[in-house]
A and B are shown apart, each in its own frame.
Chain A
Amino acid sequence: MAPLLDVRNLTKKFGGLTAVNNVTIGIEPQSISAIIGPNGAGKTTLFNLLTGIYKPDTGTMVFDGHSLVGLRPDQVNAAGMSRTFQSIRLFHGMTVLENVMVGMHSRLNISLFNTLTRTAGFNRQEVHVKQKASDLLRFVGLAGKGDEVSRNLPYGDQRRVEIARALASDPKLILLDEPTAGMNPQETVDAMALFRRVRDELGVTVVLIEHDMRVVMGISEHISVLDYGQKIAEGTPDEIRSNPRVIEAYLGRRAAGVVEPETSAEVN
């Protein structure tokens, strides 16, 4: 099967720093994949390249048969790839529901004439937008929270709103940048269940950046490891766990013993 996302030899330099160095990654449709690596490995930069926020220096990115190179972020979104942000970037003054409604923008018929004359089509679309946004909020477990100002939600819930907002554009693929960061263990377990439901119930391919090895090992079918901008390994969780280069990359920078207990905590 052809990969849904096919990234080849992608490179991005910031001045003298090569944040992403000749990275090749393929993402299978309907899969849950993880991208891991130490801090500063270039994971977020990779997401920013994919979603058009940065332009790659070299390399190709083909998504669903179309090249992503040169597309603006809104065009990438319209092409069916959506994302969340490592540091939550909700529209803080808007309500939770409005946040999700904005996520639908690329799927809407935006017409000044219809907006000003309030045509039947416009009203129907507005009803649909609200309905779908509240359905999505229920899907991520935030039923009834739609009217709250997003700033006032607890951290874990804000991450869920971001996911609902990203799902609002009916993406084929969703990029989650450290979606469980800042969550307590129970929230993390719930979030993992949510990621699975995103794939199983909505049929959306999931790619996540994660530091929490329980999440990575617990739900991903395929893992790519970045270090200093380069892909140093990829494979199934079992392969990655026993890969000496990965262990070295992590042990080289983190306290010994962190990897071991985390990899064994695969109870979820």
Chain B
Amino acid sequence: MAVKSVQQSSRATVRAALKRPAVAGGLLVAYILVAVLILNSLDRSNLWFPFYSTLTFPALVLSPFIILAAPVRGWFKGALIVALLFLIIPYLGMRDSSYLELVIQICIFAGLALGLNIVVGFAGLLDLGYIAFFAVGAYTWAMFTSGASTVFNINGWLVSGSAFYLFIFLGIFVAAIVGILLGLPVLRLRGDYLAIVTLGFGEMIRVIANNLDQPINFTNGSQGLFGVGRPPVPFFLRDGVLTVESALGLSITNVDPLSQQLLFYFIAIAIIGIIIVVARRLDNSPIGRAWTAIREDEVAAIAMGVPLVRMKLLAFATGASFAGAIGVIYAAKQTFVSPESFSLIQSISILAMVIVGGMGGIRGTLLGAVIVTMLNLLVLKNLSLQINALRNVDFVIPIINYHIRDWPTQLEPAKYERLIFGLLLIVMMIFRPAGLLPEPRRRMELQEKDEEIVDEEISPEAGDEQPVVSAVRPDAEQA
């Protein structure tokens, strides 16, 4: 014990300088400012635009994780993240709405990953058909608002876009019900069987969506539902955009689409915030402990009084409900829903986010979602764009004298998305099998103990003066 603390204190003095809140805080602010300034000065017409934005935007989007890990005060972290989410990103989005689009996509996948993390990470149930619940949510909203000639449209059952917020709840509810209906027969199965059955279920929902245009048209089949409703943009948001535009001297040509996009951005941020709170509260509760127990040893868990099937159903339904809510938002944002969006590869991508980030941990899962989504939607796409841009100007790599024009189109980075995905997973499994940020809750508890910060979470054990009698059941003698 003494040796350990001496070692630790000597190492701590080395790190002390960097760990000073003022130094770390200054570095953080500088980091974010540099990223913003670079992004602000980038010009789409620049030949190297894709390259620079690929370098800089991820740095900005990853900054919340750096902020959270930095040794600065809690309020400072909060202030930086609020500034990032509510000032910096909206501002950059007003200049170039593709950034907003990207962050919304990240939020959508992050929400899905957090939901799947409840099922796979918390409760240890391998669900390979998770995307089905996302589809349920998306179709719930799309069927009631799409302009396609479905039974809903023909019979005048359509609802207006303002019912959107109500339908988020409906999406949660319907997806949870579907989760329970699927879970009831399936959750008695163990491990691999569960994975296979859920995989089948995911495909089943997609096939149903594909075929439910006959005899009564619910889903418009493979053509998909188009013209899905969107929530109306509140007037103050549009006014706000105009005010900011004139104040900063921007010239925004697309005020209405931009306001719409901003609305989705704020909705997405809000729903992720809610999901994070819900996931954390579940994790730090008897329910979360029961899930961990089930994941670690089912037999011991049930022998200790944890009702397996009920707790597994709860995990399934909770995870499904997250996907349901996100599905409604996704359908509204895309205004188009088709079975293709809900393929097995999507389920696998979401699982990859959970694994890359660190199964079981909320922050890790978010990190996984950010990294995988950016890889798919920004990095690889931009590399392809960059190659095309260079091809068009007949760029020649100096020294080796290689004409980018000669680069085969089959080898565009965007085309090897899945290859890179697979490689990423293999590398992760070899070097960090527990993910980039494994199980932060327990790691944090240990760290907190090392630093001898006593908070209310751990103080009850410290109260050793209490008599043992309180552990005694009062009615024990009656037995």
Name the interface residues of A1-46: CB closer than 8 Å to any CB of B: 4, 29-30
Residue contact A105 to B290, C-beta cutoff 8 Å: yes
Q: Does A51 contact B (CB under 8 A)?
A: yes
User: Across the interface, which residues of B come within 8 angstroms of A93, CB to CB?
Assistant: 292, 296, 439, 442
Name the interface residues of A68-108: CB closer than 8 Å to any CB of B: 72-74, 77-78, 82-83, 85, 89-95, 97-98, 101-108
Q: Does B461 contact A (CB under 8 A)?
A: yes
Query: Which of B297, B303, B445, B479 interacts with A51 by CB under 8 Å?
Result: B303
Residue contact A169 to B305, C-beta cutoff 8 Å: yes
Residue contact B479 to A110, C-beta cutoff 8 Å: no
User: Across the interface, which residues of A come within 8 angstroms of B278, CB to CB?
Assistant: 116
**Bound-state Cα–Cα, A52 to B286, Å:** 23
**Bound-state Cα–Cα, A68 to B210, Å:** 49
Query: Which of B282, B290, B304, B473 interacts with A165 by CB under 8 Å?
Result: B304
User: Across the interface, which residues of A come within 8 angstroms of B473, CB to CB?
Assistant: 170, 202-203
User: Across the interface, which residues of B come within 8 angstroms of A146, CB to CB?
Assistant: 458, 461
Residue contact A147 to B286, C-beta cutoff 8 Å: no
User: Across the interface, which residues of B come within 8 angstroms of A72, CB to CB?
Assistant: 302, 307
> Which residue, of A72, A112, A126, A136, has the highest number of chain B Cβ atoms within 10 A?
A112
Other contacts beyond A110-B287, A170-B476: 16, CB < 8 A: A53-B303, A78-B305, A91-B293, A94-B442, A98-B292, A102-B306, A103-B304, A116-B281, A131-B460, A136-B471, A170-B473, A172-B476, A203-B473, A203-B477, A204-B479, A205-B479
Residue contact B305 to A144, C-beta cutoff 8 Å: no
User: Across the interface, which residues of A come within 8 angstroms of B301, CB to CB?
Assistant: 91, 102
Residues of B within 8 A of A (CB): 278, 281-282, 285-287, 289-290, 292-293, 296-297, 299-308, 314, 318, 439, 442, 445-446, 449, 458, 460-461, 463-464, 466, 468, 470-473, 476-477, 479
Q: Does A130 contact B (CB under 8 A)?
A: yes
| A-B CB contact pairs (8 Å), 27 listed | A53-B299, A53-B303, A73-B302, A74-B305, A74-B308, A90-B300, A91-B300, A102-B290, A102-B306, A105-B289, A105-B304, A105-B306, A115-B281, A115-B286, A127-B460, A130-B461, A131-B463, A138-B464, A138-B471, A147-B445, A147-B458, A169-B304, A170-B476, A201-B472, A202-B471, A203-B472, A204-B479
Interface size, chain A (Cβ < 8 Å):
67
Residue contact B471 to A139, C-beta cutoff 8 Å: yes
User: Across the interface, which residues of A come within 8 angstroms of B460, CB to CB?
Assistant: 127, 130-131, 134
Query: Which of B286, B307, B314, B470 interacts with A129 by CB under 8 Å?
Result: B286
User: Across the interface, which residues of B come within 8 angstroms of A92, CB to CB?
Assistant: 296-297
Smallest distance from the beta carbon of B290 to chain A beta carbons, Å?
A: 6
A89-B297, A135-B468 in contact; A74/B306 too (CB < 8 A)? yes
Q: Looking across the interface, which residue of chain A has its beta carbon closest to that of B277?
A: A116
0/1 per residue, A111-145, Cβ < 8 Å to B? Answer: 01001101000100111011110111111000110
User: Across the interface, which residues of B come within 8 angstroms of A91, CB to CB?
Assistant: 292-293, 296-297, 300-301
Query: Which of B304, B318, B446, B471 interacts with A102 by CB under 8 Å?
Result: B304
> Which residue, of B305, B463, B477, B479, has the highest number of chain A Cβ atoms within 10 A?
B305
User: Across the interface, which residues of B come within 8 angstroms of A83, CB to CB?
Assistant: 303
Residue contact A202 to B289, C-beta cutoff 8 Å: no
User: Across the interface, which residues of A come within 8 angstroms of B300, CB to CB?
Assistant: 85, 89-91
User: Across the interface, which residues of A come within 8 angstroms of B307, CB to CB?
Assistant: 72, 74
Q: Does A223 contact B (CB under 8 A)?
A: no
**Bound-state Cα–Cα, A85 to B471, Å:** 22
Residue contact A203 to B463, C-beta cutoff 8 Å: no
Smallest distance from the beta carbon of A107 to chain B beta carbons, Å?
A: 8
Q: Looking across the interface, which residue of chain A has its beta carbon closest to that of B290?
A: A105
Q: Looking across the interface, which residue of chain B has its beta carbon closest to that of A145?
A: B461
**Bound-state Cα–Cα, A147 to B452, Å:** 12
**Bound-state Cα–Cα, A166 to B289, Å:** 16
Residue contact B463 to A98, C-beta cutoff 8 Å: no
Q: Does A149 contact B (CB under 8 A)?
A: yes
Q: Looking across the interface, which residue of chain A has its beta carbon closest to that of B360?
A: A93
**Bound-state Cα–Cα, A137 to B458, Å:** 14
User: Across the interface, which residues of A come within 8 angstroms of B470, CB to CB?
Assistant: 131-132, 135
Smallest distance from the beta carbon of A25 to chain B beta carbons, Å?
A: 18
Smallest distance from the beta carbon of A20 to chain B beta carbons, Å?
A: 18
Q: Looking across the interface, which residue of chain A has its beta carbon closest to that of B449?
A: A147
Q: Looking across the interface, which residue of chain A has its beta carbon closest to that of B459?
A: A130
**Bound-state Cα–Cα, A64 to B305, Å:** 17
User: Across the interface, which residues of A come within 8 angstroms of B445, CB to CB?
Assistant: 95, 147
Residue contact A202 to B293, C-beta cutoff 8 Å: no
**Bound-state Cα–Cα, A144 to B285, Å:** 22
**Bound-state Cα–Cα, A202 to B470, Å:** 10
Residue contact A134 to B286, C-beta cutoff 8 Å: no
**Bound-state Cα–Cα, A123 to B31, Å:** 40
User: Across the interface, which residues of B come within 8 angstroms of A136, CB to CB?
Assistant: 471
**Bound-state Cα–Cα, A129 to B457, Å:** 12
Residue contact A82 to B461, C-beta cutoff 8 Å: no
**Bound-state Cα–Cα, A135 to B464, Å:** 8
